[in-house]
């Protein structure tokens, strides 16, 4: 919206946002955007660097779309563009256009584009066209300023720019080598004029603009009169980022001072206010300062608060601290209020549940070594003539029963090879110790068998009694739990512990804990069957063809695995009485069905071994 349209912008409701940078794999971005939305953030700032402009043009559009899909508004920052905007990204443009770079007061040229360069202004407009085409909601002109000497390796902070030919043309004569009041006024006017031009370009395309000024009204990088910026046509939101540690100032008073200046300036000119706070570079001891800064900004009437950046930049060595995870939790809670589940919208609940579930696979992966060792031991027992027996109660028992029920039809496992015992009906059944012991004994469990006991808490009485009975009988005992130092693990020979953290609904282990158990059981049964040779070339050649869909699947599996014609496969399946494994061995080994069956039985059901391969 153009400021000169005389339409006063209505203030937005309290909102919170975070910067996000560095990740360009969209599936990972999707997870992180869902995480932001689940935490209660309403906006995200994506960094659009020159490298992105050159190599990730369409990818960035996908990233914006992914952000919008979870309900986040999107700002686009010219990250390190020309080295005249904030950000750690390097500039390709200054490398390709050294003649357009700034000139120091002592005559040296440095690697930062001159704000008065027509070529650089044209490049900034091209960049803006791109980010608008990506669908961003606002262009965020971040810390536009003349070069900071330290950013180009200069130790002398008194050095300043710019005295290039473009500046001389606008100044009306060569820019003097002394930083006189006239020169300083010219430098400020050049920044404002640059912003006027790029804001007008974005506004003409129907886009919104945010300008974020450094928290300074003096010095070589500050703007002495913020009104000059706030009154610019095309400005939607005026922002500042009072990072107190950078300026060696106390958090509360420093943030309060600039929050007040920001709010008063925005009210005067009818634009929205936005204030940025750092979560990078902070330790746990500095969290109270961060919270005080947030409180000060709100007390001064600024409700649109953002932080730099996602996960307190714990992924970036230069900006991280060992306490980044704690700082991220603290700033998120302070900015968003950690809304209770009951107050969330349905879409927000979906985001929250999705994000929480997405953490489960990583928790299972962390238990990968223990899980693999358990599977090897289980497969060895079954290959020696034993059984896989699941034991559980409640959600854990139902998941175990489901997994056991699907093994036979999927892999051709013979009846009784994989079974499950589950506590009876009613929630009190899980407390029945005698039933757990009796159910296990009724199976005549023995040393050849493997028993997998499943319990989120690792303390369910029924399941614990069943595993104790299995241990007494000499069976291999495996505990699948979601808690540390559990009683079930103490009984087991092997423990697969997947700690998933608090549930969205406290105590409801049917959520993340249930998902974790399903993933672990999937891995146990599937990997065990693969180790036993119940698949071939990654195909379900042991599938039991009990309906038309499964008969066609078995047929296609044999076609793919054998490379033979459908007619040959149909003939082989008929001769094998529908057994895909027998038909496959007959086709590949060139033997009759009876011989194929003998080979399969002698190989313990493994097609690969029956064909002369190794287990």
Q: What is the CATH number of the domain that holds 368?
A: 3.40.50.10490
For residues 435 and 500, membership in a common domain is answered with yes
For residues 344 and 373, membership in a common domain is answered with no
The active-site residue out of 50, 311, 430, 495 is 430
Which residue has tokens 């082989």? 572
Q: Verify whether residue 430 is a known catalytic residue.
A: yes
Quote the number of domains for the chain: 3
For residues 107 and 220, membership in a common domain is answered with yes
Q: What is the pLDDT of residue 615?
A: 53
Nearest one of 13, 140, 25, 168 to 76, comparing CA atoms: 140
Give the strand pairing for 304-308 and 15-20.
parallel
Q: What is the pLDDT of residue 221?
A: 85
Question: 233 and 3 in contact (C-beta within 8 Å)?
Answer: yes
DSSP secondary structure letters along 99-111: GGEEEBTTS-EEE
Q: What is the pLDDT of residue 14?
A: 62
For residues 521 and 390, membership in a common domain is answered with yes
Which residue has tokens 């779309």? 65
Query: What is the C-alpha separation between 588 and 85, in angstroms, rounded?
Result: 67
| Tokens (6 digits) for 66 | 């992914």
Query: What is the C-alpha separation between 564 and 286, in angstroms, rounded?
Result: 70
Q: What is the pLDDT of residue 12?
A: 46
Query: What is the C-alpha separation between 503 and 359, in angstroms, rounded?
Result: 11
Which residue has tokens 């149909």? 570
For residues 195 and 263, membership in a common domain is answered with yes
Q: Verify whether residue 90 is a known catalytic residue.
A: no
For residues 433 and 306, membership in a common domain is answered with no
What are the CA-CA distances from residue 14 to residues 43, 272, 298 (Å)?
11, 12, 9
For residues 510 and 599, membership in a common domain is answered with no
- Any bridge partners for residue 453, and if so which? 391, 479
Residue 412 lies in a domain: yes
For residues 345 and 368, membership in a common domain is answered with no
Mean pLDDT (10-residue bins), the chain, 615 residues = 40 78 96 92 97 97 97 97 93 96 95 97 98 98 92 86 97 96 97 98 98 92 95 98 95 96 97 98 97 97 97 96 95 87 82 86 95 97 96 95 94 93 84 94 97 96 97 98 95 96 87 95 96 90 87 91 93 92 93 93 89 73
At residue 376, what are phi and psi to the nearest 5 degrees?
-60, -45
Interior angle at CA 173, CA 122 and CA 154, nearest 5: 70
Beta-carbon contacts of residue 604 (< 8 Å; ≥ 6 apart)? 383, 532, 533
Q: What is the CATH number of the domain that holds 566?
A: 1.10.8.1080
For residues 29 and 158, membership in a common domain is answered with yes
Q: Where are the beta strands (DSSP E) in 380-519?
A: 388-392, 418-422, 450-455, 476-481, 494-497
Which residue has tokens 């013979």? 414
At residue 110, what are phi and psi to the nearest 5 degrees?
-125, 165
Range of the domain at 472: 361-531
What are the CA-CA distances from residue 460 to residues 288, 325, 429, 466, 570 (Å)?
41, 33, 10, 10, 50
Residue 276 lies in a domain: yes
For residues 349 and 384, membership in a common domain is answered with no
SS3 call for 14 = coil
Residue 146 lies in a domain: yes
Reported residue count of the chain is 615
Which long-range CB contacts under 8 A does 62-65 form with residues at least 24 apart?
A: 62/26, 63/24, 63/26, 63/29, 64/134, 64/135, 64/136, 65/135
The active-site residue out of 197, 264, 406, 503 is 406
For residues 167 and 135, membership in a common domain is answered with yes
Domain boundary among 358, 390, 416: 358
Domain boundary among 335, 358, 381: 358
Question: 342 and 52 in contact (C-beta within 8 Å)?
Answer: no
Query: What is the C-alpha separation between 189 and 183, in angstroms, rounded?
Result: 10
For residues 229 and 176, membership in a common domain is answered with yes
Question: 262 and 235 in contact (C-beta within 8 Å)?
Answer: no
Residue 466 lies in a domain: yes
State which H helix or E strand residue 43 sits in.
strand 43-47
Residue 169 lies in a domain: yes
């Amino acid at each position: 919206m153009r400021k000169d349209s005389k339409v006063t912008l209505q203030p937005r409701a309290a909102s919170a946002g975070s910067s996000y940078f560095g990740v360009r794999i969209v599936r990972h971005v999707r997870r992180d955007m869902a995480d932001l939305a689940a935490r209660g953030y309403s906006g995200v700032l994506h960094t659009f660097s020159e490298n992105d402009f050159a190599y990730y043009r369409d990818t960035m559009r996908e990233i914006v779309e992914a952000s919008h899909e979870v309900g986040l508004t999107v700002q686009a920052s010219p990250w390190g563009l020309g080295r005249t905007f904030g950000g750690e990204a390097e500039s390709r443009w200054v490398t390709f256009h050294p003649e357009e770079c700034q000139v120091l007061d002592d005559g040296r040229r440095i690697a930062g584009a001159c704000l008065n360069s027509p070529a650089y202004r044209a490049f900034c407009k091209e960049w803006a066209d791109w980010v608008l085409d990506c669908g961003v909601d606002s262009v965020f002109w971040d810390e536009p300023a003349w070069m900071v000497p330290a950013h180009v390796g200069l130790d002398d902070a008194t050095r300043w720019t710019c005295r290039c030919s473009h500046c001389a043309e606008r100044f009306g004569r060569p820019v003097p080598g002394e930083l006189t009041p006239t020169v300083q006024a010219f430098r400020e006017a050049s920044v404002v004029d640059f912003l006027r031009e790029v804001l007008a370009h974005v506004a003409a395309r129907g886009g919104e603009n945010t300008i974020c000024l450094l928290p300074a009204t003096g010095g070589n990088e500050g703007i002495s009169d913020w009104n000059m910026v706030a009154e610019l046509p095309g400005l939607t939101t005026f922002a500042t980022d009072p990072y107190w540690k950078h300026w060696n100032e106390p958090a509360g008073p420093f943030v309060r001072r600039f929050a007040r200046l920001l709010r008063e300036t925005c009210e005067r000119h009818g634009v929205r206010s936005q204030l940025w706070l750092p979560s990078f570079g902070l330790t746990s001891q500095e969290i109270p300062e961060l919270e005080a800064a947030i409180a000060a900004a709100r007390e001064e009437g600024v409700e649109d608060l953002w932080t730099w950046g996602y996960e307190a930049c714990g992924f970036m060595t230069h900006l991280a601290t060992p306490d980044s995870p704690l700082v991220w939790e603290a700033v998120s809670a302070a900015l968003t209020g950690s809304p209770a589940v009951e107050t969330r919208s349905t879409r927000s609940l979906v985001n929250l549940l999705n994000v929480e579930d997405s953490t489960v696979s990583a928790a299972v992966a962390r238990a990968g070594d223990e899980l693999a060792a358990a599977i090897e031991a289980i497969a060895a027992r079954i290959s020696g003539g034993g059984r896989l027996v699941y034991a559980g109660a409640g959600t854990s028992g139902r998941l175990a029963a489901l997994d056991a029920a699907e093994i036979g039809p999927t892999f051709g496992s013979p009846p009784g090879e994989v079974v499950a015992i589950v506590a009876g009906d009613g929630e009190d059944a899980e407390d029945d110790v005698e039933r757990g012991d009796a159910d296990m004994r009724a199976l005549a469990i023995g040393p050849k068998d493997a028993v997998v006991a499943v319990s989120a808490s690792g303390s369910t009485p029924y399941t614990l009694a069943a595993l104790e009975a299995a241990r007494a009988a000499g069976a291999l005992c495996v505990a699948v739990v979601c808690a540390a130092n559990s009683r079930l693990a103490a009984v087991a020979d092997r423990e697969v512990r997947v700690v998933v953290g608090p549930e969205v609904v406290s105590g409801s282990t049917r959520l993340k804990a249930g998902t974790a158990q399903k993933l672990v059981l999937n891995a146990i049964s599937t990997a065990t069957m693969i180790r036993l040779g119940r698949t071939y070339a990654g195909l379900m050649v042991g599938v039991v063809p009990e309906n038309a869909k499964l008969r066609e699947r078995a047929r296609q599996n044999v076609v793919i695995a054998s490379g033979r014609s459908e007619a040959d496969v149909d003939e082989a399946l008929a001769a094998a009485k529908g057994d895909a494994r027998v038909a496959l061995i007959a086709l590949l080994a060139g033997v009759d069905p009876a011989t194929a069956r003998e080979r399969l039985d002698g190989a313990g059901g493994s097609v690969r071994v029956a064909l002369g391969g190794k287990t």
